[in-house]
Amino acid sequence: MSNARATQLSRRGILAAGGALGLGAVLAACGDDDAAKSAGSDATKAAAKAGPWTFKDDRGTTVKLDRTPANIVAFTGVAAALFDYGVEVKGVFGPTTTKDGKADVQAGDMDVTKLTVLGNEWGQFNIEKYAGLAPDVLISTTFDSAGTLWYVPEESKDKILKLAPSVAVSVYDRQMPQSLERMYALAESLGADVKSAKIVEAKKKFEAAAERLRKAAKARPEIKVLAGSASQDIFYVSGSNLSIDLEYFKALGVNIVEPSAKALKASGGWFENLSWENVDKYPADIIIMDDRSATIQPADITEATWKKLPAVKAGQVIARTPEAILSYDKCTPTLERLAEAIENAKKVA
């Protein structure tokens, strides 16, 4: 989802570069790093000894192996979710490090210095490195009904997918809890101790945060929430359908600002792109902004029309991660942040 290139309205390109798909919740680090690394290592070793392994993914594809995968390669956000469940991967592809070498927001709590990165940007995937990892399975998310594997380059997918079976977790046209449940099930199949006190507590906190957001939305139905994403030339406004977080927010009662049906149709149902001159087209009390590294962050937006928006002037702009890390630990802050914003919001639209 990147900048002016998004005007081409390539679904995969727009999403990857940072178009308007995405709302975001800022990830919160939780727990002791050393303990997490140890747990992940132990779980992976245990998984390698187990077997046979079968998993039916969200494409309806059933993968069968003689033993539980030990050499796992995954999209960065998937790897970060599995890490929270104590399952480590051998390699990743997708936004992993920023230009200064630090962990990308999508890398979660993983130590990126210890990861084999096959590609850090859209279209990058080092097949030779991938083959060298002797992968047992490749895991990614999918943003469409066809089950297209996210961040696996279209032009080289045939070569890539010949090297190992693949698993897809859908983040398309469903609510966040459904995708969370699928990642939870996948992690369990890979050897995660999902009955551990840490994971049980994380799930309880998520449920409590969802109830808090439901109550906040019910108490403040007049508060309008707009999901935005910024690029150099375009401001994107996301619709509440298709994205797992926005669909869930709406189900919990949040008053999501909806772009016009005509504009949504032009983007396949995801968003409307506005020029910066028209950024005030939809009144909003709270703006939740795409926090991925490929997008322009609120503090760096210099457009005068942006600075004049009532929500911006009131300081009612919070973060959203369109490509949520699908662990209960990482998705809970998303709900808590929005609930707090609605509870404390001034009616400015």
pLDDT tens-digit readout, 183-223: 999 999 999 999 999 999 999 999 999 999 999 999 999 99
20-29, 103-112, 251-260: the lowest-pLDDT one: 20-29
Q: Can you tell me the distance from the alpha carbon of 60 to that of 157, in angstroms, rounded to the nearest whole number?
A: 19
Return the bridge partners of 320, or none. Answer: 290
Statement: residue 339 has pLDDT above 90: yes
Asked whether 7 and 235 are in contact (CB, 8 A), the reply is no
Report CA-CA distances (Å) from 150 to 2, 117, 122, 249, 314.
16, 15, 10, 23, 36
pLDDT in tens, 321-332: 899 999 999 999
For tokens 């600075």, name the residue: 307
pLDDT in tens, 80-98: 999 999 999 999 999 999 9
| Residue 50: per-residue pLDDT | 57
Rounded mean pLDDT of the chain? 88
For residues 106-114, average pLDDT = 96
Residue 336 CA to its chain's centroid (Å): 16
| Residue 45: per-residue pLDDT | 46
Q: Look at residues 251, 271, 253 and name the one whose alpha carbon lies nearest to residue 261.
A: 271
Asked whether 224 and 257 are in contact (CB, 8 A), the reply is yes
Residue 241 is encoded by which pair of tokens? 């359908």
For residues 161-170, average pLDDT = 98
For residues 139-150, average pLDDT = 97
| Residue 70: per-residue pLDDT | 95
Statement: residue 8 has pLDDT above 50: no
| Residue 266: per-residue pLDDT | 86
Which tops the pLDDT comparison, 38 or 23? 38
**33: confidence class by pLDDT, cuts 50, 70, 90:** very low
Query: Which sign does the torsion angle of CA 30, 149, 98, 190 carry?
Result: positive
Return the bridge partners of 53, or none. Answer: 65
Residue 69 CB partners (closer than 8 Å, separation 6+)? 47, 53, 136, 137, 190
| Residue 275: per-residue pLDDT | 97
Residue 198 is encoded by which pair of tokens? 């840490």
Q: Can you tell me the distance from the alpha carbon of 84 to that of 293, in angstroms, rounded to the nearest whole number?
A: 21
105-109, 154-158, 178-182, 262-266: the lowest-pLDDT one: 262-266
Report CA-CA distances (Å) from 256 to 36, 225, 246.
36, 5, 8
Element (H, E) at 272: strand 271-275
Q: Can you tell me the distance from the alpha carbon of 110 to that of 304, in angstroms, rounded to the nearest whole number?
A: 38
Q: Can you tell me the distance from the alpha carbon of 200 to that of 207, in angstroms, rounded to the nearest whole number?
A: 11
pLDDT in tens, 297-337: 999 999 999 999 999 999 999 999 899 999 999 999 999 99
Pairing of strands 271-275, 166-170: unpaired
Statement: residue 5 has pLDDT above 50: no
Residue 108 is encoded by which pair of tokens? 């979660």
